[in-house]
């Protein structure tokens, strides 16, 4: 509503203010008006009465005066009449009262006298004049007044007569009375107006005029008819005087009303406006200041409002927090983030000593996630690093109920909490989360807080459900529903990760694209169900074949993709693939029909064949196509050269494996000779393999292959067994070849059962432990594997001796050498090649020999090819020599021959001696 400008800024701008003001006005004006009206009515009635009474008094007064004047005139006239004679004195006496006095004889003669008083009297009064003392005679001429005549008997000497006096009007009507009247006073005798005083008031015609009359009884005193005195007067001016005091009164009242109402309105409006202001502010989310004291209902109202504001604020905060949580849930953040918000909120609204939250997954085996925050802590301690923050029992509580528990769990107990209030939150009838409040000195939180915590707890449960759903979706998005294997998307991610990891660690890996051969015909011929079974089974086989560290995905159809971790060489990849091929050789499905499925595999290596995920996938796919094109059932590298080498290598491994398993490896023996006597003091067993196609393969090659593909233990055991049996056979044939030296790979030593293996071979062959010397390489001892040393110790304790092979190349420290469980040092054959006077090798050999002497070790020189070297070594003090200068490694037959020949020579020498 548009207000006039002068109201703006006053309390009248408020509608309530105006209403109160109007009410005040009505409350004051109506009674005041009513009272005024009543008062005015009463006053005007009083005034009327007073005026009336005054008028009556006035008339009466006038009438009595008139009567008195008539009386006195009468009395005077009677007195004169009673005198026998009239005198001059009488006339003087009467003059002020009577205008004329005549003595009339009786009877009155109307005719007589003519115009005289007697005649006039006789004509107008007749006989009446004899019975009355007062006669009113009409005016004798126009313009004259009626005459009042007093008659008294007159006893005179001329007989009885009448003394008639015309009362002087001036005396009778009292001229002075004319002014006295504020109205018109008239004296009437019958209908005849005798005299009127004053002017007829203007009001005489109006309702405000008042009238009265007084009857003047003349009968008793004069025996004449009554006169009437009538008067008309103006009513007293009631209203004017009334208004005279009413106006200030009304004004005063109005002022009073204004003052009181404005005071009251102010007292109501000010706190009211303040309240309204606060409500508005609260509505806009601002905080307001509580009102100062007022000591009335407004204070109560303000206090109630304070309470309400607090409540509303909390509820608004609650809504804000809940919607914040809802937003987080919609944004699919992990449930832990929601728990953070929830704990912060509980921390804010309650005064509990600590808050614990636990989340359980759908799978009861999964570890539960715990969160804990004590009062004063700024951060939430999270993770299953807080095991059993509360006993598992909390999960068994009835969902939705606050339950006090004395079993507070480790997290709380460590902080001195003795009792907690626990709320388990159910999700599909199973408690999936709980919230525990540690209530210390602050007491149990109020109902409102508990209700809000319950709301929050439910949000936590929802967040948990959403998280699980999200995880499921994530899983589904990255997995193949048929086999449960990862899909292409997941493979790309895994590949990216592998590339990142490889960049950081320098690791190399291989990607393998596998495609089943002729899968389409299986699908078409046996139906999709059977096809699906083949796919699942193939997935399982590949999984087993590649080991737990590698990654397997199905790209759809019959395509599988593998990331082989930690592949050092192409051969590693080739080996695994050929292993897979072996496992595919058994029937995949035996559902009535036995089904053997082959596959083609393509291999790409990181980083040689691609540094990007898609590149590696593409290149292994290309390699796979090559394998397919070549007829299937095989693997191919992306790089063709590598292809040949790797295939070659794998072929070799397979052949070696077969040879070992078939016991096709042979052992040759190279004698050790004492250069002083030329006698054979021992032989070294050396493995020999003749490949059916490739012919002789160097031990350095196939020993390396055996070591890399895990065949070395089998190989070593085979050689050991054969050598021990050979030794036993020679011995039983009467030939003594001395010590049997066996080469042992570091792999055999590290595996930890060499001593057992040797023990079995010794036992099986029936040779003596002391007939055996175990040759190990220096590098193995330097790297100092505890398990390896233990094995050597065990072998020595059993009676065998231990030699360090290829000594001088492995940088053994002298100090170390003293502690090693070895008996013999074998100088590496590399020193023999350039063993010349003053050469570096000579110096080394010389010092090795000196060292062996000092440490009381045996010393053997191997690879000795010339007699000069033999002489040189002899000069240095090394007598045991192995090398082409005496014998190359010999097959058992040849070796036996040599031993036999030497034995006979010895026999001959002995016999000739």
Residues 836 and 842 sit within 8 Å (Cβ to Cβ): yes
Check residue 698 for interaction with ligand C2E (CB under 6 A).
yes
CB of 760 to Ca ion, least distance (A): 22
- Name which of 334 and 810 has its Cβ closer to ligand C2E: 810
Task: CB nearer to Ca ion: give 452 or 778.
Answer: 778
Interacting residue with ligand C2E among 101, 390, 542, 719 (CB under 6 A): 719
Q: Rounded to the nearest whole angstrom, what is the least distance from the CB of residue 740 to ligand C2E in the complex? A: 12
Q: CB under 5 to 8 A by kind: which of Ca ion, ligand C2E, none does 341 bind? A: none
Kindly state the number of chain residues that form the binding site for ligand C2E, as judged by CB under 6 A: 23
Report the DSSP pairing between strands 420-427 and 402-405: antiparallel
Distances in Å between the alpha carbon of 906 and those of 435, 731, 735? 95, 17, 12
Q: Are 147 and 136 in contact (CB under 8 A)?
A: yes
Residue 775 in contact with Ca ion, rule: CB under 5 A:
yes
Task: Give yes or no for residue 480 binding Ca ion (CB under 5 A).
Answer: no
Q: From the CB of 682, what's the least distance to Ca ion, in Å?
A: 12
Q: Residue 506 corresponds to which tokens in the numbers above?
A: 């320098």
Could you tell me the smallest distance in angstroms from the CB atom of residue 689 to ligand C2E?
10
Could you tell me the two tokens for 54?
A: 């005054």
Residues in the chain: 913
The beta-strand segments (E) located in 49-197 are 98-105, 134-137, 147-156, 159-167, 183-189, 192-197
Q: Which does 738 bind (CB under 5 to 8 A by kind): ligand C2E, Ca ion, none?
A: none
Q: What angle do CA 153, 157, 160 make, to 5 degrees?
A: 30
Q: Which residues lie below 8 Å from residue 742, measured CB to CB, with a gap of 6+?
A: 685, 719, 720, 723, 758, 772, 773, 774, 775
Q: Measure CA of the first residue to CA of the last residue in the chain; give whole Å.
A: 152
375 contacts which partner out of Ca ion, ligand C2E, none, CB within 5 to 8 A by kind?
none
Query: Which CB sits closer to ligand C2E, 75 or 698?
Result: 698
Shortest separation between residue 824's beta carbon and Ca ion, angstroms: 11
Q: DSSP alpha helices (H): ranges in 709-857?
A: 712-732, 746-751, 754-765, 778-783, 786-798, 814-819, 830-833, 840-855
| Residue 743 in contact with ligand C2E, rule: CB under 6 A | yes
Rg (CA), the chain: 76
Site residue total, Ca ion (CB under 5 A): 4
Contact 513, 617 (CB under 8 A): yes
> Of 670, 683, 791, 824, which one interacts with ligand C2E (CB under 6 A)?
670
Q: How far is the CB of 689 from Ca ion (least distance, A)?
A: 17
381: its two tokens: 């301690």
Q: How far is the CB of 615 from ligand C2E (least distance, A)?
A: 41
118 vs 699 by CB, closer to ligand C2E: 699
d(CA 242, CA 240): 5
Of residues 771 and 805, the one with the C-beta less far from ligand C2E: 805
User: Which span (83-91, 541-549, 811-819, 862-870) binds ligand C2E, by CB under 6 A?
Assistant: 862-870
CB of 619 to ligand C2E, least distance (A): 38
Minimal distance in Å, beta carbon 801 to Ca ion? 14
Nearer to ligand C2E, 65 or 841 (CB): 841
Judged by beta carbon distances under 5 to 8 A according to partner kind, the member of Ca ion, ligand C2E, none in contact with residue 670 is ligand C2E
State yes or no: residue 778 binds Ca ion (CB under 5 A).
Answer: no
Q: Which of ligand C2E, Ca ion, none does residue 136 bind (CB under 5 to 8 Å by kind)?
A: none
Sign of the torsion angle spanned by Cα atoms 735, 741, 742, 743: negative
CB of residue 672 vs ligand C2E: minimum separation in angstroms?
Answer: 10
Q: Is 208 one of the binding residues for ligand C2E (CB under 6 A)? A: no
Bridge partners, residue 551, by sequence? 563
**Member of 154, 745, 765, 824 binding ligand C2E (CB under 6 A):** 745
Rounded-to-integer distance, Cα 228 and Cα 186, Å = 8
* Residue 670, token pair as written in the block: 């190279």
Nearer to ligand C2E, 80 or 827 (CB): 827
773 binds Ca ion (CB under 5 A): no
Q: Is residue 545 part of the contact set for ligand C2E (CB under 6 A)?
A: no
Q: Does 884 bind ligand C2E (CB under 6 A)?
A: yes
Establish if 687 lies at the interface with ligand C2E (CB under 6 A).
yes
Which of 69, 725, 829, 846 is the binder for ligand C2E (CB under 6 A)? 829
- Residue 257 touches which member of Ca ion, ligand C2E, none, C-beta under 5-8 Å by kind: none
Count the alpha carbons within 13 Å of 125 in the hemisphere toward its beta carbon: 29
Of 805, 861, 870, 890, the residue at the interface with ligand C2E (CB under 6 A) is 805
When binding is defined by CB under 6 A, the residue of 445, 738, 863, 892 that contacts ligand C2E is: 863
Q: Where are the alpha helices (DSSP H) in 331-483?
A: 335-349, 393-396, 409-413, 447-477
Identity of the residue, 558 or 805, whose beta carbon is nearer to ligand C2E in the bound complex: 805
Picked from ligand C2E, Ca ion, none, the partner binding residue 539 (CB below 5 to 8 A depending on kind) is none
CA–CA distance, 473 with 477 (Å, rounded to integer): 6
CB of 870 to ligand C2E, least distance (A): 11
Angstrom distance (rounded) from CA 154 to CA 21: 88
Q: What angle do CA 605, 607, 612 make, to 5 degrees?
A: 100
Q: Give the helix ranges, DSSP H, for 630-745.
A: 640-661, 699-708, 712-732
- Which string of x and - marks every residue 714-743 that binds Ca ion (by CB under 5 A)? -----------------------------x
Choices 148-156, 292-300, 509-517, 861-869 (CB under 6 A): range interacting with ligand C2E: 861-869
Give the whole-angstrom CA distance, residue 686 versus residue 720.
10
Beta carbons of 626 and 602 less than 8 angstroms apart:
yes
Q: Least distance to ligand C2E from the beta carbon of 559, Å?
A: 43
Check if the beta carbon of residue 440 is closer than 8 Å to that of residue 420.
Answer: no
Q: Binding Ca ion by CB under 5 A: which of 806, 822, 844, 883?
A: 806
Q: Which two tokens stand for residue 306?
A: 């304070």
Q: Is 710 in the site for ligand C2E (CB under 6 A)?
A: no
Closest alpha carbon to 384 in 408, 362, 397, 368:
368
Q: Does 708 bind ligand C2E (CB under 6 A)?
A: no
Sign of CA dihedral 721, 723, 726, 730: negative
**Under rule CB under 6 A, residue 703 binds ligand C2E:** yes
Answer yes or no whether residue 805 interacts with Ca ion by CB under 5 A.
Answer: yes
What is the nearest approach in angstroms of ligand C2E to the Cβ of residue 755? 16
Residue 778 in tokens? 């220096």
Burial class (CB in 10 A: 0-12, 13-18, 19+), 44: middle
Find the farthest-apart pair of alpha carbons in the chain and give their distance in angstroms, rounded. 257
Stretches 297-305, 311-319, 395-403, 684-692: which one binds ligand C2E (CB under 6 A)? 684-692
Q: What whole-number distance in Å separates Cα of residue 818 and Cα of residue 806?
A: 18
Nearer to ligand C2E, 94 or 873 (CB): 873
Closest approach, Cβ 906 to ligand C2E, in A, equals 24
Q: Does 411 bind ligand C2E (CB under 6 A)?
A: no
Give the span between the Cα atoms of 768 and 830, in whole angstroms: 32
Report the residue from 184, 479, 865, 900 that binds ligand C2E according to the rule CB under 6 A.
865
Sheet holding 551-556, edge to edge: 551-556, 559-564, 509-516, 599-606, 635-637
For ligand C2E, give the closer residue by CB, 135 or 827: 827
Q: Name the site residues for ligand C2E (rule: CB under 6 A).
A: 670, 685-687, 698-700, 703, 716, 719, 743-745, 805-806, 829, 862-865, 883-884, 889
Site of interaction with Ca ion (CB under 5 A): 743, 775, 805-806
């Amino acid at each position: 509503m548009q207000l006039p400008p002068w109201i703006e800024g006053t309390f009248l701008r408020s509608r309530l203010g105006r209403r109160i003001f109007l009410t005040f006005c009505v409350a004051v004006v109506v009674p005041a008006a009513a009272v005024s009206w009543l008062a005015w009515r009463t006053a005007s009635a009083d005034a009327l009465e007073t005026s009336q009474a005054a008028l009556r008094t006035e008339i009466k007064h006038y009438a009595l005066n008139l009567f008195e004047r008539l009386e006195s005139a009468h009395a005077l006239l009677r007195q004169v009449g009673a005198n026998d004679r009239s005198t001059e004195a009488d006339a003087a006496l009467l003059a002020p009262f009577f205008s004329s006095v005549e003595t009339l004889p009786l009877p009155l003669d109307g005719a007589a006298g003519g115009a005289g008083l007697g005649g006039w009297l006789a004509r107008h009064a007749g006989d009446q004049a004899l019975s009355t003392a007062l006669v009113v005679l009409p005016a004798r001429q126009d313009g004259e007044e009626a005459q009042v005549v007093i008659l008294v008997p007159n006893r005179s000497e001329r007989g009885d007569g009448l003394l008639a006096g015309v009362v002087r009007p001036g005396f009778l009507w009292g001229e002075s009375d004319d002014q006295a009247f504020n109205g018109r006073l008239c004296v009437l005798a019958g209908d005849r107006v005798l005299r009127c005083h004053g002017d007829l008031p203007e009001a005489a015609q109006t309702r405000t005029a008042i009238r009265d009359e007084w009857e003047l009884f003349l009968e008793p005193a004069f025996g004449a008819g009554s006169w009437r005195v009538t008067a008309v007067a103006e009513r007293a001016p009631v209203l004017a005087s009334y208004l005279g005091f009413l106006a200030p009164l009304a004004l005063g009242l109005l002022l009073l009303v204004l003052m009181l109402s404005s005071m009251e309105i102010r007292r109501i409006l000010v706190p009211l406006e303040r309240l309204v202001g606060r409500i508005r502010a609260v509505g806009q989310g601002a905080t307001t200041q509580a009102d100062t004291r007022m000591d009335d209902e407004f204070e109560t109202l303000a206090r109630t409002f304070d309470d309400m504001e607090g409540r509303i604020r909390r509820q608004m905060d609650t809504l804000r927090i809940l919607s914040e949580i809802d937003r987080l849930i919609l944004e699919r953040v992990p449930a832990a983030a929601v728990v953070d918000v929830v704990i912060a909120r509980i921390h804010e609204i309650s005064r509990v000593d600590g808050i614990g939250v636990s989340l359980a997954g759908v799978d009861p085996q999964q570890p539960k996630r715990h969160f804990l925050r004590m009062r004063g802590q700024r951060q939430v301690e999270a993770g299953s690093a807080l095991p059993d923050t509360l006993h598992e029992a909390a999960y068994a509580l009835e969902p939705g109920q606050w339950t006090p528990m004395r079993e507070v769990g480790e997290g709380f107990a460590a902080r001195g909490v003795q009792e907690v209030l626990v709320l388990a939150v159910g999700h599909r009838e199973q408690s999936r989360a709980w919230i525990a409040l540690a209530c210390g000195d602050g007491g149990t939180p109020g109902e409102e807080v508990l209700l809000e915590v319950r709301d929050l707890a439910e949000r936590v449960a929802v967040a948990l459900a959403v998280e699980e759903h999200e995880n499921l979706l994530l899983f589904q998005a990255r997995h193949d529903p048929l086999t449960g294997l990862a899909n292409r998307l997941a493979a790309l991610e895994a590949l990216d990760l592998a590339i990142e990891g490889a960049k950081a660690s320098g690791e190399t890996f291989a990607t393998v694209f596998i495609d089943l051969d002729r899968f389409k015909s299986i699908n078409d011929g046996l139906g999709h169900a059977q096809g699906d079974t083949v796919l699942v089974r193939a997935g399982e086989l590949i999984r087993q074949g590649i080991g737990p560290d590698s990654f397997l995905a199905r790209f759809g159809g019959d395509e599988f993709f593998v990331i082989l971790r930690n592949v050092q060489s192409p051969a590693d990849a080739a080996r695994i693939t050929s292993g897979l091929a072996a496992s595919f050789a058994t029937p995949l499905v035996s559902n009535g029909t036995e089904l053997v499925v082959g596959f083609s595999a393509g291999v790409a290596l990181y980083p040689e064949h691609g540094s990007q995920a898609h590149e590696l996938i593409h290149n292994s796919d290309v390699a796979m196509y090559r394998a397919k094109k070549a007829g299937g059932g095989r693997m191919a590298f992306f790089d063709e050269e590598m292809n040949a080498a790797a295939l070659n290598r794998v072929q070799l491994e397979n052949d070696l494996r077969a040879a070992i398993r078939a016991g096709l490896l042979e052992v040759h023996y190279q004698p050790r000779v004492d250069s002083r006597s030329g006698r054979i003091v021992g032989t070294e067993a050396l493995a020999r393999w003749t490949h059916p196609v490739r012919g002789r393969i160097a031990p350095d090659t196939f020993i390396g292959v055996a070591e890399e593909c895990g065949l070395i233990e089998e190989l070593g055991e085979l050689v050991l067994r054969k050598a021990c049996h050979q030794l036993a056979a020679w011995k039983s044939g009467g030939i003594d070849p001395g010590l049997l030296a066996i080469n042992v790979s570091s792999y055999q030593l590290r595996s930890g059962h060499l001593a057992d293996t040797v023990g079995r071979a010794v036992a099986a062959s029936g040779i003596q432990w002391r007939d055996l010397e175990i040759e190990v390489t220096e590098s193995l001892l330097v790297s100092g594997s505890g398990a390896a040393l233990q094995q050597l110790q065990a072998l020595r304790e059993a009676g065998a001796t231990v030699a360090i092979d290829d000594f001088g190349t492995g940088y053994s420290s002298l100090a170390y050498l003293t502690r090693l469980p070895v008996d013999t040092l074998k100088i590496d054959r590399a020193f023999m090649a350039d063993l010349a006077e003053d050469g570096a090798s000579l110096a080394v050999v010389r010092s090795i020999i000196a060292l062996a002497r000092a440490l009381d070790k045996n010393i053997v020189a191997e690879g000795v090819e010339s007699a000069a070297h033999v002489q040189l070594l002899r000069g240095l003090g090394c007598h045991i020599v192995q090398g082409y200068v005496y014998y190359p490694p010999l097959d058992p037959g040849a070796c036996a021959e040599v031993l036999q020949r030497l034995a006979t020579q010895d026999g001959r020498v002995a016999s000739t001696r």
